[in-house]
Each structure stands twice: as structure tokens, then as C-alpha cells.
């Protein structure tokens, strides 16, 4: 029976009325257990004007959730599902996996329904069991992040609710940016304006606004610094640059040779908006009064470092030399290894040349600097003929620390793939990679 108290607007329901109403639902033993649980709750009175604290409100939520679980346990004897725990327990991102563990689920997972808020899930992974429902959280929510209730329905019975925070999909950028130089100036004149172009390909997971930066290293000249070069650098398009996964965009740079400069190295660095993915082009050597070594885009060179004796090498690690950081190779002191290269024919498709001729490649390796601290082998094989259009070929290069080398020594390795055939529209050209090396203990 409902009663009113002396306080206006306050309604109370006797415990006996609640238990009598449950007489047809629960057994006497079950009602006795429920009574014991209810009287164990810690009610908190709040008078008009009192401050309702977060601690008090969280206690109320905790008690309600605990009561919901206890009721479900009592109902479990009649077959209602019970959710015991979630994995992860507190927060889950859209498009990631959630596991709901409990009891009294339908033994056939596909006959259960999991609801997160008002979104229902009926498709579960094959490794789900009668006690574990495993699924990917669908991208169907609005207003995220949000605290939502997870329930399991089995037929006409619904479980207790367990709260979880659903967050937006993880947008941390993954993958890589591939950078290839397609235009360099033929020579470097005193105080000349130089033009460069690179193709930037996004081998990434999400659309991005990439940051473009010109790297200047190994600067020489009276009173000249890296900032003296960067002061006149202009990108087109401007930074940040919008790019989609799989898309290739051309990035151009104009820069003026500072007065009194004699030489420098220049490279392009591309970084994702969140900073998680970054790459730099091979540096271009600039010497005032000299020609620039051309680097053809008709071949792409990539490399790995398989481990050999003594721990070998580790590739694609950041190595800084003379102010420019590149994905380089760490060579273990006292070990030995080899670099395995892949040269891919990347000539553009020419509608006027429907049957492009095969290429003939020769391979070479040398140190751009003194290379102190390293012993370098020769490419194997030294050449490869008859490589079909848009096909690739592998070659390897042995490399190890020299006798007397110490940890921390660095070197710049230049590996060149030269196309030597002259046939039809095919003329000789060469492509090279500059690889930073560092000895580690």
C-alpha cells in the first residue's frame, strides 16, 4: 500500500507491500533473500537545500546497479540472463571488440540479443560461447563518448544492466607516407632560386592533413645556418595538405640559396596531423657551382634487414646525421648482416607505347661520407637484365661494423640502381637511395 508522510510530496511504500507483490513471481525463499539484500542498502536522506555531491550520487548509482544484479541473480533460477562482466570493463571504442560474459544466455549465441543503449547486436564472432558473447561494437552511435547500458535479452527475459563508456572510433593514424623525388634543379647557382618536386603517397588508414617541412642539414658557408635556407622556403600546395588513403599528391618547393652559402643537404619531411606517422625523403646534396645528381622516379628502391650472425641489423629505425633524420639501419656492434633491396620498375604508363621494353639494371653501393666504422660488400647480383615492365627484382648487400668500430658511429650509404638499356623510348637513367647507418651496442 502507498502511504504519504508528513513531508509534502514524499511517498513511501512499505517493504511488506513490495514482497507481497512479488509473491507470484518469487518463491518464499527467494523473497526472503531479496528482503535481506534490500535492508542491507544504505539509504541517504537529503533535506531541502542540501548539496547533492558526486560521491552521494555515485553511491546511489552503485547501489541501484548492485540491486539490479542481485534481482537478476534471484530471477536466474527462473532462467533470466545475467551479465557478470564486460571486457574491456569500463570503456570500449567503436569498431573494437567487446566480450560480454554471464549466465543463462541462450546456448546458441546467435539467438541472444545484446543491446548497448538502444543499439542491438545479433551477430557474434565464431569463438563466442554459451557464456561469452563476443562482437565488434558497431559504428551506429551518436553523441559519443557516452555512458550506455549493456544488456542481454534471451527470448522475453532481459538481464541486468552493466554500464560502459562507448567512445568514437580510434582515429590514430597508421601506415606510412612514401616520398619520391621527381624534380631537382640541374645545378646550384650562387643565390639562385631552386625548384623541387616530390610525389607523396599516403599508404595510411585515415584521411589526413599532413604537415610539410623542409629539412636542412650539413650546412656550410660563412654565417649560414639551416634557418638561413628555410627563411625563403615556399611549399605548393601549402601546409597542411589534405590527402586521402591511397592518394598521391605532388608537393613542390621553391627555395633561394642564401648569400655566402657553399653547400647543404635538403629533404622533405611529411608528418600526419596527429604526429603518429612521419617520413622524410632522401636528402639532396646541394653544392654551389656544381650540378645536382639526378634521381629518376622510374625506379622505386625499398629495403629490409634480415638478421644474420651476431644479432645482425634492424631496419627502418630513425637515425639522425647532420641535422636530418631518416628511416635508417641500426647495425649491431660485433654482428653482421645484410640489406635486401627491392627495385621496382615504376615507369609511367604511356598510351603511345603499348608494349614497353624490359629494363636492364646494374647495382652499386658506396658511402657518401667517409663511412668510417663499416665494412661494405658488393651488391649480389651486380646486375639483372630483362626485367619486365612494372616488375621488380631483388639484390642484397652485406654490411658489418669494421674492426675497431664503436657504438654511436654513423655513415650515409648510397645505393644506386642504374637502367642501362637504350631501346625505343627507353633511355638510361638511375635511381638511388641514401640510407643512414648507425652502430649500436
Residue 279 maps to a domain: yes
Pairing of strands 91-93, 162-167: parallel
Q: What is the pLDDT of residue 313?
A: 87
Using the 3D structure, point to which of 143, 170, 197 is the last residue of a domain.
170
- pLDDT at residue 334, rounded to an integer: 84
Task: Please return the burial class of 324, using the count of CB atoms within 10 Å of its CB with bins 0-12, 13-18 and 19+.
Answer: buried
**pLDDT tens by residue, 393-408:** 999 999 999 999 999 9
Do residues 324 and 384 share a domain? yes
Where residue 191 sits, what CATH number does that domain have?
A: 2.60.40.10
107 and 241 assigned to the same domain: no
Is 243 within a domain? yes
Are 128 and 140 in contact by the 8 Å Cβ rule? The answer is no
Instruction: Measure the CA–CA gap between 249 and 274, rounded to whole angstroms.
Output: 19
- What is the per-residue pLDDT for 2? 47
Count: domains in the chain: 3
Q: Which of 106, 136, 170 is the last residue of a domain?
A: 170
Look up the pTM and report it: 0.66
Considering the domain architecture, whether residues 367 and 347 belong to the same structural domain is answered as: yes
Tell me whether residue 16 is in a domain.
no
Cα separation of 328 and 330, whole Å? 7
Is residue 48 included in any domain, yes or no? no
Question: For residue 34, is it within any domain?
Answer: no
For residue 396, the model assigns a pLDDT of 94
Residues 300, 324, single domain; the answer is yes
Which residue(s) pair with 432 in the sheet?
Answer: 416
Residue 271 lies in a domain: yes
Residues 147 and 234 reside in one and the same domain: no
Are residues 331 and 412 located together in one domain of the fold?
A: yes
Do residues 200 and 158 share a domain?
no
- Has residue 73 been placed in a domain? no
- Cα 115 → chain centroid: 30
SS (H, E, C) the chain: CCEECCCCCCEECCHHHHHHHCCCCCCHHHHHHHHHHHHCCCCCCCCCCCCCCHHHHHHHHHHHHHHHHHHHHHHHHHCCCEEEEEECCCEEECCCEEEEEEECCCCCHHHCEEEECCEEECCCCCCCCCCEEEEECCCCCCCCCEEEEEEEEECCEECCCEEEEEECCCCCCCEEEEEEEEECCCECCCCCEEEEEEEEEEEECCCEEEEEEEEEEEEEECCCCHHHHHCCCEEECCCCEEECCCCEEEEEEEEECCCCEEEEEEEEEEECCCCCCEEECCCEEEECCCECCCCCCCEEEEEECCECHHHCEEEEEEEEECCEEEEEEEEECCCCEEEEEEEEECCCCCCCCCCCCCEEEEEEEEECCCCCCEEECCCECCEEEEECCCCEEEEEEEEEECCCCCCCCEEEEEEEEEECCCECCECCEEEEEEEEEEEEC
Range of the domain at 304: 296-441
Question: Do 438 and 305 fall into the same domain?
Answer: yes
Residue for grid cell 643565390: 191
Q: Which of 293, 324, 351 is the last residue of a domain?
A: 293
Are residues 436 and 303 part of one domain?
yes
pLDDT of residue 77: 43
Cell of 176: 606510412
Contact 197, 182 (CB under 8 A): yes
List the one residue out of 349, 427, 425, 421 whose CA is nearest residue 387. Answer: 421
213 closest CA partner among 235, 242, 183: 235
Residue 67 lies in a domain: no
The residues, any chain, with a CB within 8 Å of residue 122's CB and separated by 6 or more, are 110, 112, 113, 114
- CATH label of the domain that carries residue 105: 2.60.40.1220
Do the beta carbons of residue 407 and residue 373 sit within 8 Å?
A: no
Residues 311 and 188 in one domain: no
Q: Which residues of the chain have pLDDT under 50?
A: 1-2, 4-6, 10, 42-43, 75-77
| Phi, psi for residue 219 in degrees, rounded to 5 | -75, 135
The verdict on 387 and 429 lying in the same domain is yes
All residues at 6 or more sequence positions from 228 whose CB lies less than 8 Å from its CB, including other chains:
219, 258, 261
Residue 6 has a pLDDT of 47
Q: Same structural domain for residues 222 and 188?
A: yes
What's the pLDDT score for residue 371?
A: 80
Amino acid at each position: 500500500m502507498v502511504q504519504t508522510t508528513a513531508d509534502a510530496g514524499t511517498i513511501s511504500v512499505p517493504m511488506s507491500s513490495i514482497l507481497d507483490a512479488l509473491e507470484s513471481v518469487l518463491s518464499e525463499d527467494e523473497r526472503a533473500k531479496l528482503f535481506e539484500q534490500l535492508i542491507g542498502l544504505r539509504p541517504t536522506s537529503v533535506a531541502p537545500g542540501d548539496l547533492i555531491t558526486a560521491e552521494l550520487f555515485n553511491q546511489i548509482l552503485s547501489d541501484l546497479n548492485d540491486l539490479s544484479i542481485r534481482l537478476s541473480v534471484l530471477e536466474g533460477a527462473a532462467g533470466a540472463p545475467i551479465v557478470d562482466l564486460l571486457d574491456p570493463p569500463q570503456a570500449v571504442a567503436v569498431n573494437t571488440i567487446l566480450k560480454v560474459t554471464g549466465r543463462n544466455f541462450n546456448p546458441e549465441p546467435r539467438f541472444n540479443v545484446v543491446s548497448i543503449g538502444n543499439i542491438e547486436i545479433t551477430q557474434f564472432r565464431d569463438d563466442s560461447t554459451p557464456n561469452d558473447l563476443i562482437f565488434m561494437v558497431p559504428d551506429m552511435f551518436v553523441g559519443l563518448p557516452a555512458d550506455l547500458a549493456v544488456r542481454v535479452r534471451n527470448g522475453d527475459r532481459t538481464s541486468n544492466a552493466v554500464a560502459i563508456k562507448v567512445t568514437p572510433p580510434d582515429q590514430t593514424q597508421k601506415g606510412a607516407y612514401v616520398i619520391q623525388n621527381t624534380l631537382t634543379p640541374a645545378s646550384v647557382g650562387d643565390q639562385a632560386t631552386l625548384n623541387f618536386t616530390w610525389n607523396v603517397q599516403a599508404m595510411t588508414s585515415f584521411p589526413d592533413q599532413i604537415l610539410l617541412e623542409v629539412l636542412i642539414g650539413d650546412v656550410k658557408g660563412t654565417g649560414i645556418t639551416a634557418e638561413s635556407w628555410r627563411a625563403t622556403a615556399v611549399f605548393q600546395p601549402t601546409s597542411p595538405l589534405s590527402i586521402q588513403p591511397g592518394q598521391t599528391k605532388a608537393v613542390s618547393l621553391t627555395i633561394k640559396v642564401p648569400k655566402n652559402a657553399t653547400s647543404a643537404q635538403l629533404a622533405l619531411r611529411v608528418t600526419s596531423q596527429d604526429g603518429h606517422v612521419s617520413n622524410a625523403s632522401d636528402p639532396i646534396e646541394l653544392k654551389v657551382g656544381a650540378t645536382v645528381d639526378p634521381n629518376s622516379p622510374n625506379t622505386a628502391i625499398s629495403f629490409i634487414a634480415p638478421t644474420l650472425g651476431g644479432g645482425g641489423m634492424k631496419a627502418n629505425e630513425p637515425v639522425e646525421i647532420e641535422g636530418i633524420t631518416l628511416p635508417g639501419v641500426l647495425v649491431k656492434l660485433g654482428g653482421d648482416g645484410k640489406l635486401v633491396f627491392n627495385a621496382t620498375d615504376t615507369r609511367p604508363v604511356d598510351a603511345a607505347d603499348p608494349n614497353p621494353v624490359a629494363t636492364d639494371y646494374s647495382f652499386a653501393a658506396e658511402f657518401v661520407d667517409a663511412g668510417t666504422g663499416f665494412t661494405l660488400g658488393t651488391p649480389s647480383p651486380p646486375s639483372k637484365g630483362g626485367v619486365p615492365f612494372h616488375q621488380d627484382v631483388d639484390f642484397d648487400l652485406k654490411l658489418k661494423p669494421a674492426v675497431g668500430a664503436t657504438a654511436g658511429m654513423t655513415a650515409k650509404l648510397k645505393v644506386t640502381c642504374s637502367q642501362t638499356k637504350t631501346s625505343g623510348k627507353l633511355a638510361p637513367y638511375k635511381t638511388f637511395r641514401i640510407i643512414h647507418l648507425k652502430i649500436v651496442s
